[in-house]
Chains A and B, each alone.
Chain A
Amino acid sequence: MNLHIRDGLLVDPVAKTTTVADVFIENDRVTAIGKAPKDFTADRTIDARGCWVMPGLVDIQARLRDPGQPEKGNIASETSAAIQNGITSMCLPPDTQPVIDNSATVELIHHRNATFGHSARVYPIGALTRDLGGDQLSNMASLKANGCVAFSNATRPLLNNLVQRRAMDYAAGENMLVIIQPIDVDLQGNGCAHEGAIATRLGLPAIPEAAETAALAKDIELVAQTGARTHFGQLSCARSVDMIRRAKAKGLPISTDCAMHQLFLTDHDIGSFDTSKLTLPPLRSQTDKEALREGIADGTIDCLCSDHQPHETDAKLRPFPSAEPGISAFDTFLSLALRLVEEKLLTLPEIIACLTVNPAQILGLPAGKLETGELADIIIVDPDAHQICRSKDFISQGKNTAFEGWDFNGKVLTTIVAGKIAYQR
C-alpha cells in the first residue's frame, strides 16, 4: 500500500526543523519527502494541510499491566490508548506478574500484542535479576535474543552493591542497556510525599530527596567503574539533574528521562490529600520542577516518558497513604508535551525529539525519525483541536489522571505504523 501525506508541516526531530512538504510511503517505509518517487501512485492520499506530521512517539516507560493486572489494564486497552494518542513504540518495565525474567513471558507479551494489540510496537525490558529478587542475574542474553531491549530491576533496586556491580559488568560485556530508577529503599521507607512543608503540614510520611540522590550517586560510581551503558529513569530532584550534568560532562555513558507530570505538578498540588497526585517518585518542590525543566532545555535530561500507570478506580479511593501511586498518562502525554512548546521551554521539534528520536536512539529502536528510508511510524496532529481533559473520555482503562479539567491544544488525527493506518479520527 502506498500512502501520500500532502501539505503537512513536517516536524523533523533530528534536524530540529519544521517544513511544509509531502511524505511518500511505500509498504512499511518512507521512500521520499518532498517530491514523489518515480512511478509512485498513491493508494491513498491524506490531506494534512494545517496539521503537523511527525514521527510516532516513543515512550521509554509505560506499564500496560499485562500480564497480571487485568483490573488495571491490558495490552488491548492500553495499546489502543497509545495508538490513539500518537505513541507507536513503548517499553514495558519488567514488574509484570509474572516478572519479565524468562523468555516465555516475553513471548507471551509479543503473542498478546500480535493477537489483541492495536499495532503498537511493544518492547519488553528484561528483569536484571530473577523475579526482581536482587540475588541472581536473569538470563539476560536469551531475554535479549527474544526481544528485550534493556534490563532493569524496576522499582526494586538491588540491595546488594556487589550484585549490582556484577549485573552492570555483565551487561556492559554484552553491550546491553541497563535502566535504573534510583531509589534508596530505606530512605524512601513508607513515604508517600516529598519531604517538605506540605508533607509536614499534612502529616504524611515523607520521602527525602536523598532517597533518590544517595542512590543515584552510588549508581553513577558503578557506571564509572563498570562502563555499563546506563539510563536513569523518572528523575525527580534538582540535585539529581546536577549530578547527571556533571557525570555526563565526565563522559560517562549515561542517559536520563523524567516523567512528563514532573514538569507540571508539585507537592502543592496534593492539596487536601488528593490521591490522583500520588506518584513515586513523589511530586517534588517548585525548585525541583524548574530544575527538571532546565535539564530538558539544556539536554541533561534526554527524554520524557509517560510513566503510564493505569489503575482501577478503587486503587485511588483510599486515604492518601494507602492509595496506589501512579498516573494514567497515555491520554495526556502528547498534549502536555505540546504545552511545553506553548510555554516556550523548547521549540516543537526539540520537544518532539525528547519523545521520539532521543529515546529511540538510547534503546536502539528503529523509530523516532521522519526521514527517507526510515520505518513509516508517523502521526498527524491537529494543533488547533482544543479539548478539556476529561478522564471519562480516556481511551486507557485507567481513568486516574492528575490533569482533570486542564485545557489542552492538539489532538492526534491519524496514526500510521509501518506504513499502515492504525488509527484515524
Chain B
Amino acid sequence: MPDKNLQLDGNGKLLHFLSIEGLNQPILTEILDTAESFTSITERNVKKVPILRGKTVANLFFEPSTRTRSTFELAAQRLSADILNLNVNTSATTKGESLLDTLRNLEAMQIDMFVIRHQDSGSAHFFAQHVSPGVSVLNAGDGQHEHPTQAMLDMFTIRHFKKDFSQLRVAIVGDILHSRVARSQIHALNLLNTAEVRVIAPRTLLPVETEALGVSIYNNLEDGLKDVDVIIMLRLQKERMRGALLPSEKEYFRLYGLSQERLKCAKPDAIVMHPGPANRGVEIESSVMDGSQSVILNQVSFGISVRMAIMSMIVGQSGLRGDES
C-alpha cells in the first residue's frame, strides 16, 4: 500500500484528513484536545479566530447533505476562511466533466482546502492523490468507506460524557453494510483502546468478515446491548427495503429499533447517539431520542469544534499555500 500514509507527512503530522484507518492514537487525542479548546470559542460572543484568514475552503458535495456541510461551513467561517460552497449535480458530472477535471478547475481558483463528499468509496483518497502539494483534502464521506470527521465528533461526545475509553463497551446498531460512519467509528474506537466494540445488525446489513475490523458481532439487540455504556444508532435508509435487504420498517423496528424497554438492557447511565438524520419510529423510538440519555443534539454542536480542530491542525502542520505564519 504505497499511499497508506497519504494523510501524514514525514513527521507524522496531518496533511489531509481522509480516513481514521492509517491514523494513530496520539493524533486522535490531539484532535479531541484541540476541539476542547475550540468549544470555548464557539460559546463566546465573537465566535471567530484568525487561523484560516486568507485561505479559501471549498465545500464540494456530490451528495446532498445539510448537517455535515453546514457544520463544515461554520467551522471554516469561525476560523476566518473564505468559503466556496459547491453542490455538484452528480448526473451532470457523470455525463460531462471527469472528477479529475473538476478538481483541476477548482485548483485553478487557488483553493487551499477541499472538503469533499462523493458517492464513490476512495474518492477522498483519489482527490488527495491528485491535488497540488500544499492543498489539503478533508473527507466528508466517501461512498461506504469512511466519514472520519463524524467519527471524531462522536469520539468527542463519548469522551465528554464518559471520559476513559478503556473502560467502555460501545455498541453500534444498524446498517453497518452501507455505513461509512460505522467504519470510521470502529477504527477510532479501537485506536482509542475502547474495551469492547460491538456491532448489532441483521445479517443482510452486515458485510462479510466485519469481525476483522476488531468488533464482536451480535444479531440480537437485547444481547448486544447488555451492559454497554454507549449506544450508537445508525440511520436506516428507506431504499434498503427495495433491495430486499429487509422486509419492512415495521419489522426492522420490531427487531432492531431502540425502545425505552430495550434501552434498559444497557447500563442505566448509558448514552444514546445517532449521527443523524434519524428516522423516528424506525431505528429509534421518539421518547428515546428526546429522552434524558440521548446526546444526539450535543453531537451536532460538538461537530463544529471538532471540524475546526481538524482544519486548524492541517493548517498548522502542513503550511498551506501562501504565508507560512
Contacts and interface: CB of A to CB of B under 8 A. Distances in A.
Interface stretch (A37-45, A315-323, A339-347, A354-362): A315-323
A272 B100 contact: no
Nearest to A192: B121
Nearest to B3: A272
Contact of A273 (B121, B180, B207, B208): B121
B234 to A, nearest CB: 14
Interface in B1-53: 1-4, 6, 21
A203 interface: yes
A200 interface: yes
Interface stretch (B209-217, B256-264, B281-289): B209-217
Contacts of A273: 121-122, 125-126
A196 B99 contact: no
A197 B144 CA distance: 14
A319 B183 contact: no
B143 interface: yes
B145 interface: yes
A271 interface: yes
B208 A318 contact: no
A393 interface: no
A205 interface: yes
B180 to A, nearest CB: 6
Interface in B108-124: 118, 120-123
Interface string A180-217: 00000000000000011101111111100000000000
A406 to B, nearest CB: 14
A272 B143 contact: no
Contacts of B212: 197, 200-201
B1 A271 contact: yes
Given A195-B208, A196-B208, A203 B3 contact: no
A200 B98 CA distance: 27
B229 interface: no
Given A272-B125, A319-B120, A321-B121, A197 B4 contact: no
A200 B207 contact: yes
Interface in B165-185: 180, 183
Contact of B122 (A195, A197, A272): A272
Interface string A365-393: 00000000000000000000000000000
Interface string B124-158: 01100000000000000011111000000000000
Nearest to A194: B208
A197 B21 CA distance: 14
A201 B4 contact: no
A202 B3 CA distance: 14
Given A203-B145, A203-B183, A322 B120 contact: yes
B118 A319 contact: yes
A319 B208 contact: no
Nearest to A318: B99
A269 to B, nearest CB: 9
A204 B3 CA distance: 18
Given A271-B2, A319-B99, A199 B123 contact: no
A203 B1 contact: no
A201 to B, nearest CB: 6
Nearest to A201: B213
Nearest to B210: A200
A314 B98 CA distance: 9
A272 B207 contact: no
Contact of B126 (A200, A314, A319): A319
A183 B21 CA distance: 33
Interface in A291-305: none
A267 to B, nearest CB: 11
Nearest to B213: A201
A204 B145 CA distance: 7
A201 B99 contact: no
B237 to A, nearest CB: 15
A200 B146 contact: no
Contacts of A321: 120-122, 143
A197 B1 contact: no
B89 to A, nearest CB: 16
B13 to A, nearest CB: 19
A322 to B, nearest CB: 5
A271 B183 CA distance: 17
Given A271-B1, A272-B6, A318-B126, A203 B209 contact: no
Nearest to B119: A321
A189 B1 CA distance: 27
Interface in A147-197: 195-197
- 5 A-B pairs with least C-beta separation: A273-B122, A203-B145, A203-B144, A319-B120, A271-B1
Interface of B: 1-4, 6, 21, 98-100, 118, 120-123, 125-126, 142-146, 180, 183, 207-210, 212-213
Given A204-B145, A272-B125, A322-B120, 16 more contacts: A199-B208, A201-B212, A202-B121, A203-B142, A203-B145, A203-B183, A271-B3, A271-B4, A272-B3, A272-B6, A272-B122, A273-B126, A314-B98, A318-B100, A319-B122, A319-B143
21 contacts: A195-B207, A195-B208, A196-B209, A197-B208, A197-B209, A197-B212, A200-B207, A200-B212, A201-B213, A203-B144, A203-B183, A204-B122, A204-B143, A271-B1, A271-B2, A272-B122, A273-B125, A317-B100, A319-B125, A319-B143, A320-B126
